[in-house]
A and B are shown apart, each in its own frame.
Chain A
Amino acid sequence: MSVTSGPASRRLYWPAQMQRNRGVRGLFVVVALFVALYAYLFPGLLTVGGVSKFAQSWFPLALVSMSQALLMLTGGISLSIGATVSLGAVIAATTMTGPLGVVGGLAVVMIAGLAIGAITGVIVVRLRLPAIVVTLAASFIIGGAALLILPRPGGAIPTWFSDLLAGNTPAALILLIVTALLWKVYLATPLGLSLYAAGENPVGAYRGGVPVDIARIAAYAISGLLAVGAGLFVAAQTGSGDPVIGTAFTLNSIAAAVLGGVGFLGGRGTMRGAIAGSLLLSVMINVMFFLGFPPVAQYVAQGLIIIGAVALPEITGRRGPR
């Protein structure tokens, strides 16, 4: 990256990144252990094909977790991520085989995501309405729009495009890496880095010249983009659109972000943590499936692990009035 060229910046940029890693080191170890367990159970994972397949099952969750974590860093939250995923999926499934073609469809999906996010952001930030309620109402509007576009599962994604994204290729893994790198670039811009300040101490940041409102609205817009991206990928995976396919992603995105150490009050956590959290959740589901856990046990274990992961640091590091 161009930002890291000079010797002085090498002394600052990378060390600052390393120091920010400390909070998630424990999580990385846990994730590594789970991945190792998975690889041990399923040696096929360690081939190009195995990694590609796994990355495909992980990718949408990783995107929505980033989408959610981004908002949580600014002190917000979204309950409309699932609906936005669905909308992305149905737009993709109805436009790509039409006159717009794949490129046109891609553009429509991305514009829709950015617009939805930006509008939500403006309502939350400018009109000072609580994010949780606004996104709750938005989930109905966005979900309704998805139903309008495609009342029942259907539509189609061109086969070649499906194969390219979700076939026997490492496209998902590559896209995930690209997304993560783009996030790094965004964080290296003044607006991107302001996210943390806008989330943790909005008043102080505003006084210090940070464009708090713009940073938060931008976060909502990017969050919308990531969510429709996940929808697009899910549509490519199934080869068609489904207006309610995203529903489960709302709660899973919160779970992954929290597993990844992102706090609810803003300014706490990192994107790499959220991605690791989504990886942990994906691997957990895969491992339990592999071990032949009945779905019941999977749900139960998932619930327990999430609570445990959140409660443990609280129990060990407790202080403050009772």
Chain B
Amino acid sequence: MPAPIIEARGVSKSFFGNPVLRDVSIALAPGRIHALLGENGAGKSTLINLLSGALVPDSGTIEIDGKPHASLTPAEARRAGVAVVQQELSLTSQLSIAENIGLGAYPRRLGLIDYGTLAERARAVCDMVGLDEDLARPVGDLPLGRRQMVEIAKALFRNPRVLILDEPTSSLSAHEVETLTALLDKLREAGTAILYISHRLNEVMRLCEYVTVLKDGVVTADQSLAGTDADGLVRLMVGRDPGDLFPPWTPTPETETIVSVAGFSSGPLSDIDLEIRRGEVLGIGGLVGQGQEDLLLGLYGALPASARSASFGGVSGVPSSVPKANALGLAYVPADRKREGLHLIHTIAWNMMLPQFGRARGLSLRNRSQERALARDLADHLGIKGDLTRQVQALSGGNQQKVALAKWMPSDPSILLLNDPTRGVDVETKREIYILLRRFASEGKAVVLSSSDTPELVHLCDRVAVMREGRIAAMLARDEISEEAIVASAMGAEAARAAA
């Protein structure tokens, strides 16, 4: 093996006292595509930030060309040829494609940006990634997938020796993925060291030769990919067989309908007919951004919605606001808990009480001891340990999600709407959440679970509604649910037929 260009040696990093990486080592060699795998929250993004100098490790060193750096800066990393394509885009929407690609590394003439050279070089990298848009277009105009390609072009613009890609394909079309794959092959042949992070195992199997697996901040595997299959990868990541993750449960027999809507529309949704029954976990699947979130928010009264006919627990009409939805027994757990679910600067106990504050009479007096007792009960019940007067941001992702769930329990909702509740949650907490959801359903309540994690839908749901382009493309009954069926419906009828 040729000498690695960049190497992390025994690095550790904690946030708010929570260790995110513990004694992690990884070496990126030229001419190799190296996969970095791990659950959400395993510490992948932190490791990337250490390699690119955006964060400094608490202990351990980053070596570039054999030279150790105790505190690597982004500028040093860039000069050494490290380029990162972040999962969160770093583009500026008002600037043009070319101006974004060159940002931070503009060619200059007489102190001014050399627009001539910029246009030529930007064109060249755009051709490499198959981006044929007008270079003068503001990036804000582009759909998400195209922006992702601009982000990749931006990294290539710097002629990187090390290219780090953090889930580059999550919002790309099949065609764009093809282009990217071909491009990465070419870069590998030219001797670039590539670190590739993806949740799509088939991509990893096809592209990468070597894999490092992170689990809860520790390297659990660092080996060649030769001779490993997809199941083996999952075992490396999860640390157990995929089947163990999900609790056993028995389907609830047909029961009464609690929510029914017909001709429901909200935002990009049109003409949706849906029934939600007591005692079931109804899954919502599909590719990213097919209207799943709009459906949940529309039902929850958080987005303007209309329906030909609608009944929520016997009350007709769609709730027109969140407080009204709450009064009807609905509760919502959002996907982006930091932005939509929690008040990070407030305490754990306070966050648990928030729905009560929303509902109570505004100028009544709060009962502190009752609040404390309630918060304690919830924390005990969900296994959240320690001081409840800490800020929520001090908790790990999994425990934060528990708080986001816990706060609804005192309201005793009869319909629980969840939007990707296990994103960025460690395996143990995932299992606890699954148990909780099934128990909730077994108490005769209804759970609607939108998820981008297909196994979750397969192993946890009584029925699965697959969404495509703002409509329900298929409603799969218990005996029809399989990963293949969900993916086929998500991709559309043509693709399904071709697959058959």
Contacts and interface: CB of A to CB of B under 8 A. Distances in A.
Given A3-B109, A189-B112, A194-B103, A208 B154 contact: yes
A5 B116 CA distance: 8
Contacts of B84: 207
A19 B104 contact: no
B10 interface: no
Interface string A1-14: 01111111101110
Contacts of B262: none
Interface string B288-310: 00000000010001111000000
Contact of A16 (B54, B96, B109): B96
A197 interface: yes
A205 B115 contact: no
A208 B120 CA distance: 20
B136 A19 contact: yes
A3 B113 contact: yes
A12 B97 CA distance: 10
A231 B162 CA distance: 52
A155 B8 CA distance: 67
B494 interface: no
Interface stretch (B56-64, B87-95, B188-196, B219-227): B87-95
Contacts of B108: 190
Given A190-B106, A209-B78, A209-B105, A9 B94 contact: no
B94 A200 contact: yes
A322 B321 contact: yes
Given A15-B134, A188-B113, A205 B103 contact: yes
Given A205-B104, A207-B86, A208-B104, A12 B92 contact: no
Interface in B194-218: none
Interface in B63-101: 74-75, 78, 84, 86, 88-96, 98-99
A185 interface: yes
B120 A8 contact: yes
B110 interface: yes
A128 interface: no
Nearest to B304: A322
A190 B92 contact: no
A203 B84 CA distance: 13
A185 B75 CA distance: 26
Nearest to A204: B90
Nearest to B84: A207
A208 B53 CA distance: 11
A319 B297 CA distance: 12
Interface in A268-322: 268, 270, 319-322
A19 B136 CA distance: 7
A8 B119 contact: yes
B116 A204 contact: no
B114 interface: yes
Contacts of A204: 86, 88-91
Interface string A177-213: 0000000010011100110110011011111111000
B138 interface: yes
Contact of B96 (A3, A12, A200, A210): A12
Contact of B52 (A188, A207, A270, A320): A207
Given A197-B92, A204-B89, A188 B119 contact: no
B94 A268 contact: yes
A267 interface: yes
Contact of B92 (A6, A8, A9, A205): A205
B96 A19 contact: yes
B322 interface: yes
Contacts of B481: none
Contact of A210 (B94, B103, B114, B118): B103
Contact of B93 (A185, A208, A267): A267
A25 interface: no
Nearest to A185: B112
Given A15-B134, A319-B267, A321-B302, A207 B90 contact: yes
A9 B74 CA distance: 30
B131 to A, nearest CB: 15
A203 to B, nearest CB: 8
B137 interface: yes
A238 to B, nearest CB: 38
A197 B103 contact: yes
A307 to B, nearest CB: 23
B135 to A, nearest CB: 6
Given A207-B52, A207-B54, A209-B78, A189 B90 contact: no
Contacts of A206: 74
Contacts of B115: 3-4, 6, 8-9, 12-13, 188
B92 A200 contact: yes
Contacts of B114: 3, 9
Contacts of B136: 11-12, 15-16, 18-19
A188 B112 CA distance: 6
Contacts of A152: none
A193 B95 contact: yes
A285 to B, nearest CB: 30
Interface string B255-267: 0000000000001
A20 interface: yes
A319 B298 CA distance: 12
B253 interface: no
Interface in A1-44: 2-9, 11-13, 15-16, 18-20
A183 to B, nearest CB: 13
Contacts of B267: 319
B110 A2 contact: yes
Interface in B288-341: 297, 301-304, 321-322
B443 to A, nearest CB: 28
Contacts of A322: 301-304, 321-322
A209 B303 contact: no
B111 interface: yes
Nearest to A212: B104
B71 to A, nearest CB: 16
Contacts of B78: 209
A320 B137 CA distance: 26
Contacts of B119: 8-9, 11-12
A200 B111 contact: no
A32 B15 CA distance: 55
A208 B301 CA distance: 40
Contacts of A13: 115
Given A16-B96, A189-B112, 12 more contacts: A6-B116, A12-B135, A12-B136, A189-B111, A194-B104, A200-B92, A201-B91, A205-B92, A207-B74, A207-B84, A209-B78, A267-B94
11 contacts: A6-B116, A16-B95, A189-B113, A197-B92, A200-B92, A200-B94, A204-B88, A204-B90, A208-B104, A210-B103, A321-B297
Interface of A: 2-9, 11-13, 15-16, 18-20, 185, 188-190, 193-194, 196-197, 200-201, 203-210, 267-268, 270, 319-322
Q: What 7 pairs across the A-B complex have the smallest Cβ distances?
A: A204-B90, A209-B104, A6-B116, A15-B136, A9-B115, A12-B119, A9-B116
